[in-house]
Amino acid sequence: MNQNRFQTIASLSFALILISDGPWQARAQDRQIPYPRMAPIEQYLMTDRNAEIALARSAAPDAIARDAEVLVLGRHGYETAVKGKNGFVCVVERGWMSPFDGDFAINFLNPKIRGPLCFNPPAARSVLPLTYKRTEMILAGKSKAQVIDALKAAYEKKELPPLEPGGMSYMMSKDQYLTDDGDHHWMAHLMFYTPLMDGAVWGADLPKSPVMLNPQFSGAPEPIDVFMVPAGRWSDGTAEPVM
Protein backbone atom coordinates (compact mmCIF):
# COMPACT_ATOMS: atom_id res chain seq x y z
CA MET A 1 0.00 0.00 0.00
CA ASN A 2 1.33 3.45 -0.86
CA GLN A 3 0.77 5.13 2.49
CA ASN A 4 2.14 8.44 1.17
CA ARG A 5 -0.85 8.68 -1.15
CA PHE A 6 -3.16 8.32 1.83
CA GLN A 7 -1.31 10.95 3.82
CA THR A 8 -1.68 13.35 0.92
CA ILE A 9 -5.46 13.06 0.88
CA ALA A 10 -7.04 11.13 3.77
CA SER A 11 -10.40 11.92 5.31
CA LEU A 12 -12.92 11.20 2.64
CA SER A 13 -10.22 12.97 1.48
CA PHE A 14 -11.15 16.47 2.29
CA ALA A 15 -10.22 19.38 4.64
CA LEU A 16 -9.46 23.01 5.48
CA ILE A 17 -9.50 24.74 8.85
CA LEU A 18 -12.56 26.89 9.30
CA ILE A 19 -11.86 30.25 10.88
CA SER A 20 -13.52 30.70 14.25
CA ASP A 21 -13.38 34.52 14.44
CA GLY A 22 -16.48 34.86 12.27
CA PRO A 23 -18.07 33.43 9.15
CA TRP A 24 -15.18 32.68 6.80
CA GLN A 25 -12.93 35.51 8.04
CA ALA A 26 -9.26 34.88 7.22
CA ARG A 27 -6.50 35.74 9.66
CA ALA A 28 -3.12 37.02 8.55
CA GLN A 29 -1.43 33.68 9.32
CA ASP A 30 -3.90 31.87 7.07
CA ARG A 31 -2.79 33.62 3.88
CA GLN A 32 -1.16 30.47 2.54
CA ILE A 33 -4.29 28.35 2.96
CA PRO A 34 -5.49 27.83 -0.61
CA TYR A 35 -9.20 28.22 0.24
CA PRO A 36 -9.42 30.39 3.38
CA ARG A 37 -13.06 31.42 2.94
CA MET A 38 -16.32 30.23 1.44
CA ALA A 39 -16.57 30.67 -2.32
CA PRO A 40 -19.85 31.76 -3.95
CA ILE A 41 -22.41 28.98 -3.54
CA GLU A 42 -22.63 28.51 -7.31
CA GLN A 43 -19.10 27.08 -7.31
CA TYR A 44 -20.12 24.22 -5.00
CA LEU A 45 -23.25 23.32 -6.96
CA MET A 46 -23.35 21.20 -10.10
CA THR A 47 -25.46 22.91 -12.76
CA ASP A 48 -26.31 19.63 -14.49
CA ARG A 49 -28.56 17.67 -12.10
CA ASN A 50 -28.29 14.50 -14.18
CA ALA A 51 -24.50 14.72 -14.11
CA GLU A 52 -24.54 14.89 -10.31
CA ILE A 53 -26.87 11.89 -10.16
CA ALA A 54 -24.55 9.91 -12.44
CA LEU A 55 -21.49 10.94 -10.43
CA ALA A 56 -23.14 9.91 -7.15
CA ARG A 57 -24.08 6.51 -8.57
CA SER A 58 -20.53 5.95 -9.83
CA ALA A 59 -19.42 5.48 -6.20
CA ALA A 60 -20.65 1.86 -6.12
CA PRO A 61 -21.11 -1.02 -8.55
CA ASP A 62 -24.25 -0.72 -10.65
CA ALA A 63 -25.89 -3.67 -8.89
CA ILE A 64 -26.00 -1.47 -5.78
CA ALA A 65 -26.21 2.07 -7.15
CA ARG A 66 -29.01 1.57 -9.67
CA ASP A 67 -31.59 0.97 -6.92
CA ALA A 68 -30.14 3.44 -4.40
CA GLU A 69 -31.63 6.74 -3.37
CA VAL A 70 -29.64 9.60 -4.90
CA LEU A 71 -29.12 13.04 -3.36
CA VAL A 72 -28.03 16.27 -5.06
CA LEU A 73 -26.77 19.46 -3.43
CA GLY A 74 -29.08 22.47 -3.39
CA ARG A 75 -28.54 25.97 -2.09
CA HIS A 76 -29.58 25.05 1.45
CA GLY A 77 -28.59 21.40 1.66
CA TYR A 78 -29.06 18.02 0.04
CA GLU A 79 -32.27 17.10 -1.76
CA THR A 80 -33.58 13.73 -2.91
CA ALA A 81 -33.27 13.49 -6.69
CA VAL A 82 -34.09 9.79 -7.10
CA LYS A 83 -36.12 7.58 -4.77
CA GLY A 84 -34.39 4.35 -3.79
CA LYS A 85 -35.44 0.74 -3.40
CA ASN A 86 -32.58 -1.01 -1.58
CA GLY A 87 -31.83 1.25 1.40
CA PHE A 88 -28.52 2.52 -0.01
CA VAL A 89 -28.01 6.27 -0.50
CA CYS A 90 -25.55 7.72 -3.02
CA VAL A 91 -24.35 11.31 -2.71
CA VAL A 92 -21.52 13.56 -3.90
CA GLU A 93 -19.99 15.05 -0.77
CA ARG A 94 -18.11 18.35 -0.80
CA GLY A 95 -14.92 19.34 0.95
CA TRP A 96 -16.49 20.24 4.29
CA MET A 97 -17.01 16.56 5.14
CA SER A 98 -13.51 16.40 6.58
CA PRO A 99 -11.62 16.98 9.83
CA PHE A 100 -12.11 20.48 11.18
CA ASP A 101 -8.41 20.77 11.95
CA GLY A 102 -5.05 19.06 11.52
CA ASP A 103 -2.62 18.13 8.79
CA PHE A 104 -5.36 17.40 6.28
CA ALA A 105 -6.98 20.81 6.60
CA ILE A 106 -6.28 22.07 3.11
CA ASN A 107 -9.44 21.53 1.07
CA PHE A 108 -12.36 22.11 3.44
CA LEU A 109 -13.74 24.98 1.35
CA ASN A 110 -12.27 23.94 -1.99
CA PRO A 111 -15.26 24.31 -4.37
CA LYS A 112 -13.79 21.74 -6.78
CA ILE A 113 -13.97 18.83 -4.35
CA ARG A 114 -16.39 16.08 -5.39
CA GLY A 115 -16.48 12.91 -3.28
CA PRO A 116 -19.07 10.41 -4.54
CA LEU A 117 -19.99 7.69 -2.07
CA CYS A 118 -22.82 5.25 -1.43
CA PHE A 119 -23.88 4.54 2.16
CA ASN A 120 -25.31 1.14 3.02
CA PRO A 121 -28.61 1.15 5.00
CA PRO A 122 -27.10 1.28 8.54
CA ALA A 123 -24.76 4.10 7.50
CA ALA A 124 -27.54 5.92 5.65
CA ARG A 125 -29.54 5.97 8.88
CA SER A 126 -26.74 6.85 11.29
CA VAL A 127 -23.84 8.51 9.39
CA LEU A 128 -25.56 10.33 6.53
CA PRO A 129 -27.35 12.66 9.03
CA LEU A 130 -23.91 14.15 9.72
CA THR A 131 -23.60 15.03 6.04
CA TYR A 132 -26.97 16.74 6.16
CA LYS A 133 -26.19 18.69 9.32
CA ARG A 134 -22.67 19.82 8.42
CA THR A 135 -23.78 20.83 4.94
CA GLU A 136 -26.73 22.90 6.14
CA MET A 137 -24.56 24.76 8.65
CA ILE A 138 -21.70 25.37 6.23
CA LEU A 139 -24.06 26.70 3.58
CA ALA A 140 -25.59 28.97 6.21
CA GLY A 141 -22.14 30.49 6.80
CA LYS A 142 -21.53 29.07 10.27
CA SER A 143 -18.02 29.26 11.67
CA LYS A 144 -15.87 26.32 12.73
CA ALA A 145 -16.63 26.91 16.39
CA GLN A 146 -20.36 27.21 15.73
CA VAL A 147 -20.47 23.98 13.74
CA ILE A 148 -18.50 22.05 16.36
CA ASP A 149 -20.66 23.38 19.20
CA ALA A 150 -23.85 22.56 17.30
CA LEU A 151 -22.71 19.00 16.62
CA LYS A 152 -21.78 18.47 20.26
CA ALA A 153 -25.14 19.83 21.39
CA ALA A 154 -26.97 17.66 18.85
CA TYR A 155 -25.34 14.52 20.22
CA GLU A 156 -25.97 15.54 23.82
CA LYS A 157 -29.65 16.16 23.06
CA LYS A 158 -29.84 12.93 21.02
CA GLU A 159 -30.87 14.90 17.94
CA LEU A 160 -28.38 12.84 15.92
CA PRO A 161 -28.78 9.05 15.82
CA PRO A 162 -26.25 6.74 17.45
CA LEU A 163 -23.97 4.82 15.13
CA GLU A 164 -25.55 1.56 13.95
CA PRO A 165 -23.45 -1.63 13.73
CA GLY A 166 -22.43 -2.62 10.22
CA GLY A 167 -22.33 0.88 8.74
CA MET A 168 -20.11 1.21 5.66
CA SER A 169 -19.90 3.02 2.34
CA TYR A 170 -18.49 2.55 -1.14
CA MET A 171 -16.12 5.13 -2.61
CA MET A 172 -15.12 3.57 -5.92
CA SER A 173 -15.71 6.32 -8.49
CA LYS A 174 -13.15 6.94 -11.22
CA ASP A 175 -14.41 10.51 -11.40
CA GLN A 176 -13.95 11.54 -7.77
CA TYR A 177 -12.01 14.78 -7.26
CA LEU A 178 -10.44 14.75 -3.81
CA THR A 179 -7.48 17.12 -4.02
CA ASP A 180 -5.88 19.66 -6.33
CA ASP A 181 -2.78 17.48 -6.46
CA GLY A 182 -2.14 15.48 -9.62
CA ASP A 183 -3.46 12.26 -8.05
CA HIS A 184 -6.84 13.89 -7.46
CA HIS A 185 -8.90 10.71 -7.63
CA TRP A 186 -6.76 8.77 -5.12
CA MET A 187 -7.90 5.12 -5.01
CA ALA A 188 -11.09 3.08 -4.97
CA HIS A 189 -11.89 2.05 -1.40
CA LEU A 190 -14.51 0.99 1.13
CA MET A 191 -15.13 2.79 4.42
CA PHE A 192 -16.30 1.15 7.64
CA TYR A 193 -17.78 3.17 10.51
CA THR A 194 -17.11 2.14 14.11
CA PRO A 195 -17.28 3.60 17.61
CA LEU A 196 -14.06 5.32 18.67
CA MET A 197 -11.31 2.76 19.16
CA ASP A 198 -7.58 2.18 18.90
CA GLY A 199 -6.69 1.69 15.24
CA ALA A 200 -4.46 -1.22 16.29
CA VAL A 201 -7.63 -3.26 16.81
CA TRP A 202 -7.95 -3.29 13.01
CA GLY A 203 -4.20 -3.39 12.36
CA ALA A 204 -4.61 0.00 10.74
CA ASP A 205 -1.62 1.80 9.22
CA LEU A 206 0.83 -0.99 10.05
CA PRO A 207 3.46 -2.00 7.46
CA LYS A 208 1.84 -3.86 4.54
CA SER A 209 -1.59 -3.70 6.16
CA PRO A 210 -4.33 -2.67 3.70
CA VAL A 211 -6.35 -1.03 6.48
CA MET A 212 -6.08 2.72 7.10
CA LEU A 213 -7.62 4.83 9.85
CA ASN A 214 -9.33 7.84 8.30
CA PRO A 215 -9.25 11.01 10.49
CA GLN A 216 -12.60 12.25 9.14
CA PHE A 217 -14.46 12.28 12.49
CA SER A 218 -12.31 10.71 15.25
CA GLY A 219 -14.35 12.19 18.08
CA ALA A 220 -13.80 15.79 17.04
CA PRO A 221 -16.65 16.09 17.73
CA GLU A 222 -18.46 13.12 16.15
CA PRO A 223 -17.87 9.90 18.18
CA ILE A 224 -17.06 7.82 15.10
CA ASP A 225 -13.95 6.28 13.59
CA VAL A 226 -13.65 5.45 9.89
CA PHE A 227 -11.49 2.57 8.65
CA MET A 228 -10.67 2.42 4.94
CA VAL A 229 -9.77 -0.64 2.85
CA PRO A 230 -8.71 -0.43 -0.82
CA ALA A 231 -11.17 -2.09 -3.18
CA GLY A 232 -8.67 -2.94 -5.91
CA ARG A 233 -11.07 -1.96 -8.70
CA TRP A 234 -13.30 0.92 -9.71
CA SER A 235 -17.08 0.67 -9.61
CA ASP A 236 -17.19 -0.21 -13.31
CA GLY A 237 -15.06 -3.30 -12.61
CA THR A 238 -11.79 -2.06 -14.11
CA ALA A 239 -8.65 -2.70 -12.07
CA GLU A 240 -7.22 0.01 -9.83
CA PRO A 241 -3.72 -0.92 -8.50
CA VAL A 242 -3.30 -0.30 -4.78
CA MET A 243 0.25 -1.52 -4.15
pLDDT tens-digit map of 113-170: 999 999 999 999 999 999 999 999 999 999 878 999 999 999 999 999 999 999 999 9
Q: In terms of pLDDT, which residue wins out, 187 or 118?
A: 118
Q: Is residue 207 part of a domain?
A: no
Q: Which domain holds residue 148?
A: 3-187
Position 74 in a domain: yes
Within-domain flag for 148: yes
pLDDT band at 32 (very low <50, low <70, confident <90, very high): low
Residue 40 lies in a domain: yes
In a domain, 69, yes or no: yes
Indicate whether 76 pLDDT > 60: yes
Contacts of 25 (CB under 8 A, 6+ apart): 19, 37
Note whether residue 212 is domain-resident.
no
Given this model, what pLDDT does residue 180 score? Answer: 83
167: how many CB neighbours lie within 10 A of its CB? 22
Digit-coded pLDDT (tens) for 101-126: 765 667 888 999 999 999 999 999 99
Residue 226 within any structural domain of the chain: no
- Rounded average pLDDT over 85-101: 92
In a domain, 216, yes or no: no
The number of C-alpha atoms within 13 Å of 109 and in the hemisphere containing its C-beta is 23
Distance CA 222, CA 219 (A): 5
Q: Rounded to an integer, what distance in angstroms lies between the CA atom of residue 25 and that of residue 145?
A: 13
Q: How many domains does the chain have?
A: 1
Closest CA to 123 of 88, 153, 152: 88
Q: The whole model's pTM is what?
A: 0.85
